[in-house]
Amino acid sequence: MKIKVAETAGFCFGVKRAVDKVYQLIEEGVSPIYTLGPIIHNEEVVSDLTQKGVQVISEDDLPCLNRGTVVIRSHGVGKHIYDLLRKTGLDYVDVTCPFVLKIHRIVEKESNDGKQIVIFGDPDHPEVKGICGWCNGPYTVLSGKEETEHFTPVPGKELCVVSQTTFNYNKFKELVEILSKKSYYNNVLNISNILNTICNATEERQKEAKNIAGEVDTMLVIGGRRSSNTQKLFEICKEECGNTYYIQTPVDLDSEMFHHSSYVGITAGASTPKKIIEEVQEHVRIKF
């Protein structure tokens, strides 16, 4: 069985930085440690941290805490969370991804300048919720083609368009084209800025996954079920290779996946540890 593993598979810079920081705090004896939501969307990592005493909390839990260190994960949070942390007096460590912080600064400035913010992304994703929390005025989250086609801006408002860092790059281009056509042909949109804020690592990962999926008989995409960027990788690979599977660990592998396959491709989301990628690769090599 020939196997090709994507060079860009696994932890991105922002995720590695966040996870490493939590383990550093554990080694330094900091206690108790709380993460505001799961530090990453990977059950294996979160489970290991839980065993080491790290507790996952929500925004609603913050007013009830009187001691400890809160870790703001790489997805980032809205401005009101920082205000709440300062009010409670809790120590906190901010490991928001720099690419996400850049979007926070953009939407804060542009909305303060009176513009309506349009965000391409998943409205339920923590990163998008955090971005919304820096908008000081009207904003809209658009996740797909139909929503974008029916989008109507606040009258008289210029638009500033940004994107979730892990958004599908091809989808971003498609939605930008829809808005641009509405602006040009219908004169109903006044777009001042369209900013591609998808991080470079995401673009490279998606392009490489697409290329590999186009070459192989079976494509494996490894990642947590709640991982937005892994889901997008799966969608991209599925378009190129019908025999594409979304797995979390080697346990999810099945011989039926490799029926009549001689060439297997493997990629993984930004929240997938290198150890799991290696385990899947070894399992495929030995078992199938």
Q: What are phi and psi of 194, to 5 degrees?
A: -120, 110
Confirm whether 127 is a catalytic residue.
Answer: yes
**Residue 120 · residue 48 · CB < 8 Å:** no
CA dist 262 → 216, 217, 258 (Å): 8, 7, 8
Q: How far apart are CA 40 and CA 19, in angstroms?
A: 8
If you count them, how many residues does the chain have?
288
Is the backbone peptide bond immediately before 32 cis, with ω within 30 degrees of 0? yes
Give CA–CA dist 155/111, Å, rounded.
15
Q: Tokens for 232, please give them.
A: 């997008």
Residues 27, 43, 110, 127: which is the catalytic one? Answer: 127
Please answer whether residues 113 and 120 qualify as being in contact, where contact means their C-beta atoms are separated by less than 8 angstroms: no
Distance CA 172, CA 162 (A): 10
CA atoms within 13 A on the CB side of 160: 22
* C-alpha angle 63-69-73 in degrees, rounded to nearest 5: 90
Residue 214: CB atoms within 10 A of its CB come to 13
Supply the residues annotated as catalytic: 127
